[in-house]
Structure 1
Amino acid sequence: MSVLIVTSLGDIVIDLYSDKCPLTCKNFLKLCKIKYYNGCLFHTVQKDFTAQTGDPTGTGVGGDSIYKFLYGEQARFFGDEIHLDLKHSKTGTVAMASGGENLNASQFYFTLRDDLDYLDGKHTVFGEIAEGLETLTRINEAYVDAKNRPYKNIRIKHTYILEDPFDDPSQLAEMIPDASPEGKPKEEVKDDVRLEDDWVPMDEELGVQELEEVIREKAAHSSAVVLESIGDIPEAEVKPPDNVLFVCKLNPVTEDEDLHTIFSRFGTVISADVIRDFKTGDSLCYAFIEFEDKEACEQAYFKMDNALIDDRRIHVDFSQSVSKLWSQFRQKDSQKAKGNGCFKCGSTDHIAKDCVGGNQASKFIVKDQNRQHGGGEGYDMVFEGDGEREKSHDKEKKIPSRHGYGEGKRQDRYHERDTEDKAATRNNGSRRQQREDVRDRDRERERER
């Protein structure tokens, strides 16, 4: 009477006490036969105490006995089979995890050390581990959280009955699946994020050089994300061109033409630019060389590093600059903006500056003459509300009164308003003159003192 349990950490063979605990052993064997335990988690692992499993929900509060499937809901639990000579005396003891007296279902546990006398007389001991104590040791060493649940899932993969002394009930044949199920049970509750049982650490999966390369790539990507967030590069995924060289430690007297001539022997040079100070025009002693193809660039990289140019040993490397790529991304952005259509009327077949009309008037206008810079071509500042004021002003000037009386009254109001503005200007000028006179008198008094 034994069962082979295949877990994600190794195999375990259990010998059952079928003579002393027939009800419990029959329940365990038939549940294994219908593959009830396949995919069940070791949901509770208490180091040097117990490792508990057998709940398809993975919560520790689920599970049904085989008698429920055979006889109905009222037979979900079955009674204890506690014997005083069956104790938790050694590592690998197998016992039922019950919800109370005579409340056994499907959950069971393994003891992880000797002499757990505290559990004697409280739980039904129905077997012991015959093979696979090393697997039990690996389960005991699992990292767990505050609720004693492993951070990396430990699952029962398969169960195989090696010997079964009990006859199968007639209803059991319908419950046996055609193939052993794999993966997670359908009833499993997803409450916390865990590492799955087939997860392998990267340092165990890759070699030393491959691992270092992956780490470098991740570090470079993290740096690129930071540069994108502060605006140094257009996108984190952007890559520098592979046909441009960076040359430094140049002599200040080295010119663009000199570098073009020297590097042209490796292939066609599109540009050779010595970077200069924007104020003084002096060389900053480094340059960028752009080739027509990648092969010429690589050849120049291997041949010209540490070469002597104008009595200076130069250093050559592949360029990491993406400054020339900014224009490409700006063009993409502008094309995207063009695809958004007109914000005035909502149409998608033209943009706002080409709009000839719309259902709703915009509250923003663009003035044709830039008076701040002396008029002429260009655009002035955009002001909210100016559009309504100018439209209303135009209506008042263009729409005449039917009898002429309204037009005359409106012109009178404009005349009175201009008169008041001129009077206010004269008053402001006289007050300003008075203040200047007072200041002059104060200065003369100070001189006399």
Structure 2
Amino acid sequence: MSVLLETSAGDVVIDLLTDYAPKECENFLKLCKVKYYNFSPVHSIQQNFSFQTGDPLGPTSPSSDGGSSIWGLVSGPSEKTFPATFNPKLKHLERGTVSMATVPHPSDPDVRVAGSQFIVTLGDSTDYLDGKAAIFGKVVEGFDALEKINNAITDHDGHPLVDIRIKHTIILDDPYADPPGLREPSQSPAPSKAQLATVRIADDATLTEEVDEDAAEKARREREARAQALTLEMMGDLPFAEVKPPENVLFVCKLNPVTTDSDLELIFSRFGIILSCEVIRDKKTGDSLQYAFIEFEEKSACEAAYFKMQGVLIDDRRIHVDFSQSVSKLAEVWRGGENAKRKRGRDGGGWGGVKGLEKWRKYREEDGRDDDRGRYSMVYGEEEMRGRHERQRDGGDEEGRGANDADRFADHGRDGRNRERPWNGGNGRERNQESQRRSRSPRREKHHIRARDDNDQREDRTRPRYDNRHRNPQDRDNDRNRGAHGDYRRR
């Protein structure tokens, strides 16, 4: 005699041990026949031990009565339970053992009664249940379903987060006669309102959408990059989070320390006009750090250099080229540089207040949008960078240096040529001497002259005296001519 249980985890076939537990087998068969177990939830899952089911509402429903035997359904509540039998030959020794859940009789603790709930073991050697659950069958097919139930995610009470329920029961063989008053339904009944109220997450609910792993990884990296950019914006390192590096700047590394800016400019100039070429050097020692940034006038020239110069031998070193990922120049323009730091507070320069930022940058697309999603191309204006580059090649930007000097000495009373401005006919030292002379009274002036004479006399006493009595006249004449501190070497 066998019964097929269709569950949301899979089908399970149970063979009934009618010779060892006839009462329990009859109760189970007839409850399956009247579809009493339909939509019953699986609960109390203990991994590698057991799970429990058979109550149409489950233990979480406040209106649940714990289930009833087949005799309680056809005869009345007085026969809701029946005394369970425990065969000493039946033990919970293997996985898939099926037994009726029992409780002590209210008036006789030595007698245990059963209703409709049953237990299925999920591990071997679960002899703890011997004497507490009455064995009446064993699982012969459907161990994959038992494995899914065993690995289900549950709460602290063992209830699965996604419902696992008995959907349908099919009797394969029934040797027992139907008790009086039993009526078999013509089809499986629909779940009641009380049963639907116990649903947490339906077993057919879609929890996760099918997404491409590569797309999910890309989205995760984009979220992380946006979060890091926002952090840099808050710290003041970037003007705004969506800033991008220029597309016409090439990064060159693995250079020979002897390679100079002019060498790289000469080599890379065949691809197009170069606006700037700078080998990055140590701030203190001036030694090359063996990498450089080359800014082209055209984006196409930068791309051509990227494809042609990879692995090229320069000064016995094979270089590596890549598109620049640096926005340091852009950030420096936004802050205003050193000049803006000195003038910050007077003209609003630096830290987002640079008036010439719009003139220096070409960040966004030329479609007129003013949002933060635009792309960025060049950091400096084309005409200005070309002019700066030509002036540097011709011997330096004298005009720029003169302007900087004028700004630097404007607050100190000096003009652009670093000459002191006249003030009442004299410089600072003369003004100090004049103020000291005027502040002295005649008495203090006399004391000052006396102190100065004393110092002169003290200095004269400390000078070395030379005895000229035992020297020849020629040497004494030479000493007088050279002075006491003259050179005593023979001429």
For normalisation by structure 1, the TM-score amounts to 0.47
Larger Rg: 2
